[in-house]
């Protein structure tokens, strides 16, 4: 029984149990950390994947008018890890997590993507909401991100 408990503790901690983010800003910071570690399991706990997949109007990575369509949560997680387009794009810039605005169980977190090569900064707001008493990111509102034509 003790051995079983010892095995369960790392799983609980690894799934964000003891170290679960308490604020929307901490959730966004944890998401970037999980992306850096290519930790799909942690991302799955930080993101509202079903809600993110509903965003088909605009591509959150490219900022273009024709959005990529993800047919499974796994495709989205692959895009945010490894050699995924969004990870490569976001990690080519400095990411600054700014202030958050909490309105009950909903919040926005300002994120600045700083392109040091071009000397340009792009401001966006991530949408975060509570799901089962945990903050989850449901939107990468990247209205401020450049379109592919603007990035040369």
Q: Is the pLDDT score of 94 beyond 90?
A: yes
Q: Give me the CATH number covering residue 61.
A: 3.10.450.50
**pLDDT (tens digit per residue) in 17-28:** 446 789 999 999
State yes or no: pLDDT of 10 exceeds 50. Answer: no
CA 62 remoteness from chain centre: 15
Locate all alpha helices (DSSP H) within the chain, ordered by sequence: 2-14, 24-36, 40-46, 49-53, 73-79, 85-91
Cβ atoms 138, 129 nearer than 8 A: yes
- Find, among 34, 113, 128, 30, the residue nearest to 80 by Cα: 34
DSSP helix/strand/coil, 29? helix
Q: What is the pLDDT of residues 23-42, one digit of tens each?
A: 999 999 999 999 999 999 99
- Does the pLDDT of residue 131 top 60, yes or no? yes
pTM for the model stands at: 0.77
Q: Given pLDDT bands bounded at 50, 70 and 90, which one contains residue 143?
A: low
Q: Which helix (H) or strand (E) holds 18?
A: none
Instruction: Classify residue 126: in a domain, yes or no.
Output: yes
> Has residue 14 got a pLDDT over 70?
no
Asked, for residue 40, whether it belongs to a domain, the answer is: yes
Residue 16 predicted with pLDDT over 70: no
Residue 98 pLDDT greater than 90, yes or no: yes
User: For the chain, what is the domain count?
Assistant: 1
b or e along 100-117 (b: 16 or more beta carbons within 10 Å of the residue's beta carbon)? beeeeeebbbbbebeeee
Range of the domain at 80: 23-141
CA nearest to 85, candidates 109, 59, 47: 59
- Report how far residue 108's alpha carbon sits from residue 119's, in angstroms, rounded to the nearest whole number: 25
Residue 91: inside a domain: yes
Residue 14 lies in a domain: no
**Tokens (6 digits) for 89:** 């794009």
User: Is residue 148 a part of any domain in this protein?
Assistant: no
- Per-residue model confidence as pLDDT tens digits over 46-76: 999 998 888 766 656 645 556 667 778 999 9
Helix (H, G, I), strand (E, B) or coil at 31: helix
Looking at the domain assignment, is residue 18 inside a domain?
A: no
């Amino acid at each position: 029984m003790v051995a079983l408990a010892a095995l369960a503790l790392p799983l609980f901690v690894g799934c964000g149990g003891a170290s679960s983010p308490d604020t929307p800003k901490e959730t966004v910071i944890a998401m970037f950390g999980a992306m850096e570690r290519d930790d799909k399991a942690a991302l799955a706990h930080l993101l509202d994947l079903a809600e993110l997949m509903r965003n088909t109007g605009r591509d959150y990575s490219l900022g273009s008018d024709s959005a990529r369509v993800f047919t499974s949560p796994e495709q989205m997680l692959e895009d945010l890890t490894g050699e995924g387009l969004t990870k490569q794009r976001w990690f080519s810039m400095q990411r600054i997590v700014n202030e958050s605005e909490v309105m009950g169980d909903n919040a926005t977190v300002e994120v600045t993507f700083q392109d040091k090569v071009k000397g340009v900064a792009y401001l966006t707001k991530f949408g975060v909401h509570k799901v089962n008493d945990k903050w989850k990111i449901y939107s990468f509102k990247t209205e401020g991100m450049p379109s592919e034509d603007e990035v040369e």
